[in-house]
Amino acid sequence: MATSDGDGWIECSCGAKHWGLHGAAGVLIVDPSIPSVLMQHRAEWTHGGATWGIPGGARDSHETAVQAALRELFEEWGVSETLLEIVHDEVWTDHGDWSYHTVIATPARKFDVTHNAESQEARWVALDEVRNLDLHPGFAAHWDQVELTIAGLLKSL
């Protein structure tokens, strides 16, 4: 039986504290037709409360980044991986002691989000408006890199 052994803060060599003893991962769902991305408005009580980000969380030691990201997505939004097509899983931010992995997916078909208490809202946001939101600092730190990757992907989607 697999156990959750990734929950906890790590004191990173970059000077910051990050969530996830084995790193963390999240899923960014992209609708290429607008283009837009499905953003999470985080609940007030969460770390970085009421900011915007994506569903995700700590990796367990037995999980790949993709497995962790999809597990968190299902826990937080009730969206199963069967509703998605993963188009990119190699956007990394690597701090040595800690890493964050953004998995990029497109909807394979229409779906509804039934979010749990960690979100107050899930909303499609136009790609070029994401940076205008009050972003979670962790997400904001990765956004330039992720946006660049999406721009490249959109040419082939």
Residues that bind Zn ion (CB under 5 A): 12, 14, 16, 95
Rounded Cα gap, residues 84 and 75, in angstroms: 15
Rounded Cα gap, residues 68 and 2, in angstroms: 12
Rounded Cα gap, residues 152 and 20, in angstroms: 29
Compute the least distance from the CB of residue 26 to Zn ion, in Å. 16
Q: SS3 breakdown of the chain: % helix, strand, coil, rounded to 5?
A: 25, 35, 40
Compute the least distance from the CB of residue 95 to Zn ion, in Å. 3
When the beta carbons of 16 and 154 are compared against Zn ion, the nearer one is 16
Compute the least distance from the CB of residue 60 to Zn ion, in Å. 20
When the beta carbons of 23 and 39 are compared against Zn ion, the nearer one is 23
When the beta carbons of 25 and 39 are compared against Zn ion, the nearer one is 25
